[in-house]
Amino acid sequence: MSAHPDRHEIAVARYFEAWNATGPQALAKAVAAAWTPDGTYTDPLADVGGHDGIAAVIAAAHEQFPGFSFRLAGSVDGHHDTARFSWELVSDADGTAPVAGSDVITLDGEGRIRAVLGFLDRVPAGA
């Protein structure tokens, strides 16, 4: 068990702050708060490293799904330097969630994300 059990929840909260940040400055600040400088993000559609690469993936998601927010679906399950959780991409207008996934994150000793391995569980046709 981790010495700080809530560190997983804190890291995931920062992760969602980054994914829901709007505007380039807020996004850059949120990514820097959540990830290590050499942090990575890998899912079926992206494989990037560093704050700029991660911010670009997040910005592209916002461009593809304007008016949507990412939210935690369920609870965070963590041990040692690893946590897993599920998420949904939810319409701010009507609450529908056309995209959902599950991520596994690895943290550094400070609780910042070193790596994300993402899986897409639900994706709309043509996305």
| Cα dihedral across residues 29, 63, 16, 109: positive or negative | negative
Measured CA to CA, the distance from residue 22 to residue 9 in angstroms comes to 22
Sites in the chain below the pLDDT cut of 50: 1-2
How much is the pLDDT for 2? 44
- Compute the C-alpha angle 39/62/52, nearest 5°: 30
Measured CA to CA, the distance from residue 112 to residue 2 in angstroms comes to 14
